Structure 1
Amino acid sequence: MSSNAMRQLEERHVANEVEMMVWSNRMDLLALSNVRGEVALHRLTWQRVWSLTPPSEGCTVKGMAWRPDGKVIAIGYSTGDFLLVDVENAETLHNGHVEGEITCVAWTQEAHTANEDGSSIADRGRFMSQRHFGLHDLVIMK
C-alpha cells in the first residue's frame, strides 16, 4: 500500500467548462481558464481572488505558467496575445503579441539550454518568442 495515495476531499462546480488548470506550488492558488477565454484565480479553499476577461472576443487560453517566485502568472491566448498578471491584484504588468497561435507558455531561468548536439532549442527556431523579465525568461511556443 502506498503512503502517497490521494483522495478527493470535496467537489466543486463552475459555470463554464474548464479547459486548463495550473496550480502554484509556491502559494495556495489555482488558475483556471474556461471555454470563454476567461481566467479565474482561486485559493485552494475555493475563494475567488480575481477573474479576467479575454483580451478579445472569441479567443481562448492556450497556455498559463506561474513565474518561479509565484508572484506573476503568464497567460497566452489563441490570438497570439499574452499577458503577465500580478497575482495579488490582477494588474497587467506587461502585454504583448506574437504572430500565430500560442500553444505553450513557460518560465525558465536559462532559456538557451543546450541539447546533446550543442545547439539550443531557441537556435532550432522552435520558440516563437523569448523575452527577458528580470531574473527569468518567458518562453512562448507555437
Structure 2
Amino acid sequence: MNMAQANSMKQMGSRMLGCAVERMQWSNKMDLIAYGTDRGEVIIQRLNWQKIVTFPSLGEDIAVRSLSWQLDETVLAVGYSNGRVALLDAEREDQISVLNFEDEIKRVYFSKSIKTSDYRSTYRNRTEVC
C-alpha cells in the first residue's frame, strides 16, 4: 500500500436532505447520527439513513448550537441559541429534561457516563418543577 492509499478517504454514501445541516454529531458507538438543521430541528438517524425521530424546532430564529451524545447511551444533549439545553432520548423518542439559561448556549457535552434509567425520574421531576 502506498502513502496515497493509506491517507485516502472513501465515500460510503450520500443523501439529499432538503434542508441545510448546521450541526452534526455521531454517537459514541457510531450507530446513530444527530444533526441540527437550519430550521432548528434535531433529526436522529441510523447509519443506514433510517430516520428514528425528528424533534421540532423551538421556534423561528432559534438555532441548534451544539450536540453531544452521552457516552455509551442514546441520550443526546442539545444546546440552543435561546439558552435552552434539552436532553433527548433517541431510543424512546422522548425529551427527558429541559434546562433554561439566560445566555446563548455555545457548547454542551457530557463529562462522564451515567446510567439514564437511574436518573430518568430525577430529570422528569426537575422538568416538572421548573
TM-score (norm 2): 0.78
How many residues were matched structurally?
A: 112
Give me the whole-angstrom Cα distance separating, in 2, the residues matched to 1:98 and 1:24. Answer: 25
Partner of 2:49: 46
| 1:32 paired residue among 29, 32, 35 | 35
2:13 is equivalent to residue 10 of structure 1: yes
Instruction: Render the CA deviation track for 1:56-91: whole Å, top value 9, x for unaligned.
Output: 332010011001122200001000011101110221
Measured on the aligned residues, the alpha-carbon RMSD in Å equals 1.9
Considering Cα pairs closer than 8 Å and 6+ residues apart, tell me whether 1 or 2 has the greater RCO. Answer: 2
Q: Which amino acid aligns with 2:103?
A: G
- Moved beyond 3 Å, runs of 4+: 2-5
**How many Å separate the matches in 2 of 1:29 and 1:96?**
24
Match of residue 108 from structure 1: 111
* Structure with more of its chain in helix, by fraction: 2
Q: Which has the higher strand share?
A: 1
Q: Provide the secondary structure at the position in 2 that maps to 1:49.
A: strand
The 2-side partners of 1:107 and 1:69 are apart by 11
- Compute the displacement of 1:9 (Å): 1.7
- Between the aligned partners of 2:59 and 2:14, the Cα distance in structure 1 is 31
From 47, 55, 71, the equivalent of 2:74 is 71
DSSP-derived class of the 2:85 partner? strand
